[in-house]
Structure 1
């Protein structure tokens, strides 16, 4: 371990405050915009943490607000890892746990939505070639629901900004070990989820170009930062830098992007500090430039709206979020809306939409 890695190991991981349920309940409910529009939510988590339980019941309570959510995709969050056995296989426990939740949902007992119909888990790609055994075990544990890997890379030199829960190296994307592990994904039919901060987008673009056959999705519009030096108070400069990097990333046709994840503390919009939760109009006004930039450069068939719940729940309700997304997409054609809200996610994660109950 280098001196820099040793210092990073002591830095806090990126985290949000727990959602304030009293604050969320203080907002009057909104009417659902386009309630029949089919939605696949391609990004949420499940966990049982101190003061923050979010399992199937909580997810379905959020989904039940009135939007037509056909299915969801679970994204790794270090939940329910195995307590024994080799360290590198501990994340298999998350796939086992979520596949059980998916089976519960598929029974129909909890409603029509097929929760966790896609599963994305963690495997340490820094294992290099040795990660293939872990990937194979994930596939066995998740079956057809298992779709890919997220190895979060979010890192920034500002000590005010927490690192990803994986405690990544600043140069992770360029290391021989990581790329050897990354090379094992596409032959197994697995995708990659990229979670990083916007100053890392250029390094990410280089990774994507080096593996043009691997399908990759960029989480949370590339993580534009709004807290810590030199980002806090410099929204316009950050946007300009982010926008230029997004344009470069979009040149790689194997890269898709998730439109969401801007309700986190790290983005610096501070919705959670308002006296009352924002309306969907409030959210749409702030988020529109980011989402429209991505849609312009990636096209609707490489863009998908996401909730990022319960992480983003600090800034508003599930119902409000999807209303905000629908406001942003209000001028789109019916075909483009179908792609943004369900079609792109179904294609990327290979989900059988025709099999979902209606």
Structure 2
């Protein structure tokens, strides 16, 4: 089963400034596409979308331009952005002009809730529709109602919910997460990304630890509204790429080949307009 990874982070510290990495010493180094592909290709990962790495704001456009040409296996990029900024319209024009940019993301799980709830932020997200760009939602489980409010204000925008909505697996946070997930799953313009949850689990996690969350997500969104992502190298904080791929394949092994193809590549081709 071939895989398109919709959530690959690459770090080139000689090119760009990553302020947040100072607080993440375990991954505070270069992560090149060549190093990633050494592990990824034997796993069936044939292509990837680069996910912005929250570079300094002045580097956002340059990062996006660089990552769309870094390697033939990187077939597109989700760019960073600042919808809370009065200058967002100009930033969006610059990003939309870069061939290969398929969407944008503003990291919200570490931002004050108020940032994404302003009228300016919501109105700026609506601008994405005219450029045919997606918005990746990166929120905590407790912020899912805020994410739903953003979606409701922009019905013509395609949203992708990163990391299954970030359930607090380590602290048995299923019920609190499921309530918010049920609501946002009811929005037809939201696709969910099976990614990132290994870092939300205890260090001794196994496939069965993750299974209830992945299966519930698929139940709520359906096979036509899910995509897969590695979240590499962030996933290495609590696993490695191989272990995450193997866990996902085990969880969905009972599904049909057609359903698995939707998760691992077919939906990504449609949602991110890759085909």
TM-score using structure 1 length: 0.70
Q: Is the 8 A contact 1:62 1:317 kept in 2?
A: no
Measure, in 2, the Cα distance between the counterparts of 1:76 and 1:340.
Answer: 22
Partners of 2:151 and 2:96 in 1: how far apart?
23
State how far apart, in whole Å, the 2-side matches of 1:316 and 1:90 are.
29
1:249 is paired with a residue whose SS is helix
1:56 equivalenced with 2:33 (yes/no): yes
Structure 1 position 261 matched with structure 2 position 196: yes
Kept after mapping to 2: 8 A contact 1:195/1:219: yes
For residues 302-346 of structure 1, the C-alpha deviation after alignment (integer angstroms, 9 at most, x for no partner) is: 111211000001222212211111100111011101101111111
What's the counterpart of residue 151 of structure 1? 106
Using the TM superposition, give the Cα deviation of residue 287 of structure 1 relative to its aligned residue in structure 2, in angstroms.
0.8
Structure 1 residues 117-136: aligned runs within 5 Å: 117-128=75-86, 130-136=87-93
CA contact (8 A) 1:121 1:148 kept: yes
Shift of 1:186: 0.8
Match among 159, 162, 165 for residue 219 of structure 1: 162
CA distance in 2, matches of 1:240, 1:54: 36
**Alignment partner for residue 134 of structure 2, among 191, 211, 222?**
191
Gaps of 5+ in 1: 1-36, 82-86, 107-113, 155-162, 227-231, 275-281, 353-358
Deviation at 1:183, TM superposition (A): 1.5
1:47 paired to 2:5: no
1:221-254: per-residue Cα shift (whole Å, max 9, x none)? 111235xxxxx7x41xx21011111111100000
Q: Give the structure 1 partner of residue 233 of structure 2.
A: 310
Distance (whole Å) between structure 2 residues aligned to residue 315 and residue 302 of structure 1: 27
Return the match for 2:49 from 55, 64, 73.
73
How many angstroms apart in 1 are the aligned matches of 2:206 and 2:181? 21
In 1: Cα distance, 2:12 partner to 2:103 partner: 23
What are the Cα deviations for residues 63-91 of structure 1, in whole angstroms up to 9, with x where unaligned? 13x22212101110134x5xxxxx6x531
Is the contact between residue 61 and residue 94 of structure 2 (CA under 8 Å) also seen in structure 1?
A: yes
Structure 2 stretches lacking a partner, 5+ long: 14-24
Please identify which structure carries the higher helix content.
2
Secondary structure of the structure 2 residue equivalent to 1:125: coil
**8 Å contact kept, 2:227–2:264:** yes
C-alpha distance in structure 2 between counterparts of 1:250 and 1:169, whole Å: 23
User: Pairwise CA RMSD of aligned residues?
Assistant: 1.7
Q: Does 1:96 align with 2:54?
A: no
- More displaced 10-residue stretch of structure 1: 89-98 or 286-295: 89-98
Report runs of 4+ in structure 1 exceeding 6 Å deviation: none
- Count of residues in correspondence between the two structures: 262
Q: Normalised by the size of structure 2, how large is the TM-score?
A: 0.90
